[in-house]
Structure 1
Amino acid sequence: MGGHYGMAVLVGVALLLTTGQCDVSCRGTDGRAGEAGAQGRDGFPGEKGEKGEPAVMDDGPVDVGVLLRLKGEEGSRGPQGVMGPKGYRGHLGPTGDPGELGHPGPEGKSLGQGGQLSPQQGRSAFSVIRTDNSYPRFGQKITYQQTVVNAQDDFNAATGHFICSVPGFYYFTFHSMAKVSVCLGIASDALTDKLGFCDYNRNNDQVMSGGVVLQLTVGQKVWLESFRDQQKDAETRDIHEKRIIFSGFLLF
């Protein structure tokens, strides 16, 4: 009995010794930290807040410096825009009344051909108007219904001829107005070929003019006539208002 009790005491002492040593050298290792979890989903949007109070205008003076700082800088000037289309040409007004005859010029001088011209002989000038609304026939001389000036009676309105009675240098010019295409030529014994002028209608009144300086001797003729170029047949049947003015005068 006593032997068993002694054995138990020894075992208990051994256990105490063993336990004391494990407190220092028998301690377990620390575990590692856990990994971060996945990011959670966004929450639902919150409710819309209430509308704020309107701004109150200050009753005091406005600070111009503050306004200038708030204003943005002026931008650079942009490029010039494309020019717009040209406007339509207006309608030609009615033909005006002929002007009054001018005052007589100075007395004429010798033309260097052995004779002295009288003042009356040195005044050769004419201006006539065609008022017929029919289209002038091709290849024929233009005739006129109204005579404005015909000094020396050098112009024959019935035949459309100017016949030189005073030799010298002359200036001849014409002006025409029509609503269709017209071609007119200045013809003369002093020219080897006619001087042609054309104007083609684009749904507007057409105004055309031409002129020439010629040296004429006594008896030479000058006239105006119509000719065909690119006119349409329908234009030759036009009966709208037309005007042709033919003029000429002695330069020297």
Structure 2
Amino acid sequence: MAGYYGMVVLVGVAWLVMAAQCDVSCGGRDGREGVAGSPGRDGWPGVKGEKGEPAVVAGSSLDAGVLLLKGEMGNRGLQGPMGPKGFRGNLGAAGLPGLPGSPGPEGRSSGHGQHSPQDARSAFSVIRTDSSYPSLNKPVTFQMTAVNNPGDFTAATGYFTCRVPGIFYFTFHSVAKVSLCLRIASEALTDKLGFCDYNINNDQVLSGGVVLQLAAGQRVWLESFRDQQTAEDLKDTQEKKIIFNGFQLFS
């Protein structure tokens, strides 16, 4: 029985010796690589670093710790050459209409060529308010103008001057307390048309009229003439009124 236990002990020692030798000289096979683990979570953001020092100009004779200061502005350089003309832009919106201009001066016709119906219109009506007796054989002048369109009659001289050739009608009316003779005169007439009224201290109306065909530049006027008036009549200064009218019928 004792021998049996001794045998068991020897076998166990022999097994331990062999195992120790295999740990030193016997080589085992490499094992398989392990499975990669799950990625870890992102870390927390780091703390913001401090602001760095300003750069120093390389090659400067100043100390490394001294910064370059901004210098004064230099003189303005010469103007460069003009660049090429740019493309034309789009047309802008229309501006606001300007103020109307003042009317121009009224034109005058030379009497030649064609005239529109508007140009052919001519009319005047003038009044003499001077109480003195009109000078004999001279154009009667007038102090008031009721109508003078477009200005063919000159009140200061008593002449109407034809601007557009055509047919005209002229008429006059007078009121006086003394004998008065008036006639319509014109370069288009061979004889002057005279009208007289003889009156003593009563208001009397004298009238006369004529239709004339005038060429451009011909004149028409009203004048006083002597017939049976006395010398006292010619010196009369009582109130008198003479109205002279004319207008163009058609050109």
TM-score normalised by the shorter chain: which range applies?
0.5 to 0.7
Unaligned runs of 5+ in 2: 1-110
Give, in angstroms, the shift of residue 203 of structure 1: 3.0
Distance across 1 between alignment mates of 2:112 and 2:224: 40
State TM-score, norm by structure 1: 0.54
Q: Which residue of 2 aligns with 1:52?
A: none
What per-residue deviation string (whole Å, max 9, x for no partner) do you get for residues 60-112 of structure 1?
A: xxxxxxxxxxxxxxxxxxxxxxxxxxxxxxxxxxxxxxxxxxxxxxxxxxxxx
Task: Please state whether the residue corresponding to 1:234 is helix, strand or coil.
Answer: helix
What per-residue deviation string (whole Å, max 9, x for no partner) do you get for residues 143-178 of structure 1?
A: 000011111210011110000001100000000000
User: Which of 133, 136, 156 matches 1:135?
Assistant: 133
Amino acid in structure 1 at the alignment position of 2:208: G
Matched pairs, number: 140
Give, in angstroms, the shift of residue 115 of structure 1: 5.3
The reply on whether 1:196 has 2:194 as its aligned counterpart is yes
User: Which of 224, 227, 232 matches 1:226?
Assistant: 224
Q: Which residue of 2 aligns with 1:206?
A: 204
Amino acid in structure 1 at the alignment position of 2:146: V
Task: Please state whether the residue corresponding to 1:235 is helix, strand or coil.
Answer: helix
What per-residue deviation string (whole Å, max 9, x for no partner) do you get for residues 28-74 of structure 1?
A: xxxxxxxxxxxxxxxxxxxxxxxxxxxxxxxxxxxxxxxxxxxxxxx
Q: Which residue of 2 aligns with 1:103?
A: none
Amino acid in structure 2 at the alignment position of 1:232: T
Give, in angstroms, the shift of residue 119 of structure 1: 4.1
Q: Which residue of 2 aligns with 1:187?
A: 185
Distance across 2 between alignment mates of 1:167 and 1:201: 39
Q: Which residue of 1 aligns with 2:241?
A: 243
Distance across 2 between alignment mates of 1:114 and 1:144: 30
Mapping of 1:39-50 within 5 angstroms? none
Q: Which residue of 2 aligns with 1:148?
A: 146
The reply on whether 1:167 has 2:195 as its aligned counterpart is no
Cα root mean square deviation, aligned = 1.6
Give, in angstroms, the shift of residue 204 of structure 1: 1.1
Q: Which residue of 1 aligns with 2:118?
A: 120
Q: Of the two, which has the highest radius of gyration?
A: 2
After TM superposition, where is structure 1 displaced by more than 4 Å over at least 4 residues in a row? 113-116
Give, in angstroms, the shift of residue 140 of structure 1: 1.1
Distance across 2 between alignment mates of 1:114 and 1:164: 12
Task: Please state whether the residue corresponding to 1:172 is helix, strand or coil.
Answer: strand
CA separation of 1:114 and 1:248: change in aligned 2, threshold 3 A: closer
Amino acid in structure 1 at the alignment position of 2:244: F
Q: Which residue of 1 aligns with 2:214?
A: 216
Unaligned runs of 5+ in 1: 1-112
What per-residue deviation string (whole Å, max 9, x for no partner) do you get for residues 168-221 of structure 1?
A: 000000000000000001000000011000000033111100000000000000
